[in-house]
């Protein structure tokens, strides 16, 4: 390994910790209010999709379960990501408010049964993000592998809090750029 790679890896690891810490300092009321505003911006920016995937909130990420339920009530099909194999793309399993969930190896609730779907739209949590449309996840690379493998690629919408915006995440060659970013401040297309 060269020093630049080691420096970048250490920098991104430290940034991941800082981003989680920033969110953890939000009060429950602040978190709920900001999550609701993100949901409002999603509703006003996007029509109810035929199918979509979202992520169960972990580590104080925005909670979009209310939005997911409302889109389902309007006729959309929802799915949650499932890790089926280490270092492989994710798959998406159908979800409803009554789905039975079990925590996966990462502690993330996932459906234990149901149909596999390929969503038309994916709501991706933003551990950190930059104005160029790159997201910083938790380091496993699952979403980057998944987006690179899906053809046609679904519309990708990053959802996060403004406190997790940075000048640059220092994207690497495997990082996938998002189509949209939505925070409590609004929705924007990177590069616009």
SS3 state of residue 45: helix
Can you identify the CATH homologous superfamily of domain 3-188? NagB/RpiA/CoA transferase-like (3.40.50.10420)
Nearest residue to 70 via CA among 101, 110, 42: 42
Specify the pTM.
0.92
SS3 state of residue 121: strand
- Reply yes or no on whether the pLDDT at 26 is more than 60: yes
* Cα separation, 111 vs 134, whole angstroms: 28
Distances (CA, A) of 68 to 29, 42, 173: 20, 11, 32
- What pLDDT, in 10s, does the model give residues 52-71? 999 999 999 999 999 999 99
Domain map (residue ranges) of the chain: 3-188
* Position 1 confidence tier, pLDDT thresholds 50, 70, 90: very low
């Amino acid at each position: 390994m060269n020093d630049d790679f080691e420096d970048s890896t250490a920098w991104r690891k430290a940034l991941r910790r800082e981003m989680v810490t920033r969110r953890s300092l939000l009060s429950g009321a602040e978190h709920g209010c900001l999550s609701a505003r993100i949901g409002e911006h999603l509703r006003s920016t996007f029509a109810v999709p035929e199918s979509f995937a979202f992520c169960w909130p972990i580590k104080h990420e925005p909670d979009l379960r209310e939005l997911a339920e409302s889109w389902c009530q309007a006729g959309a099909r929802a799915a949650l990501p499932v890790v089926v194999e280490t270092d492989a793309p994710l798959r998406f399993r159908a979800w409803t408010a009554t789905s039975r969930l079990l925590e996966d190896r990462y502690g993330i609730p996932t459906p234990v049964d149901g149909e596999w779907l390929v969503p038309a739209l994916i709501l991706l949590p933003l551990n950190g993000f930059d104005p160029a449309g790159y997201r910083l996840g938790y380091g496993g690379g699952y979403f980057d592998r998944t987006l690179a493998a899906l053809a046609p690629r679904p519309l990708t919408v990053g959802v996060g809090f403004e406190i997790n915006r940075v000048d640059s995440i220092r994207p690497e060659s495997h990082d996938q750029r998002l189509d949209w970013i939505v925070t409590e401040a609004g929705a924007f297309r990177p590069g616009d």
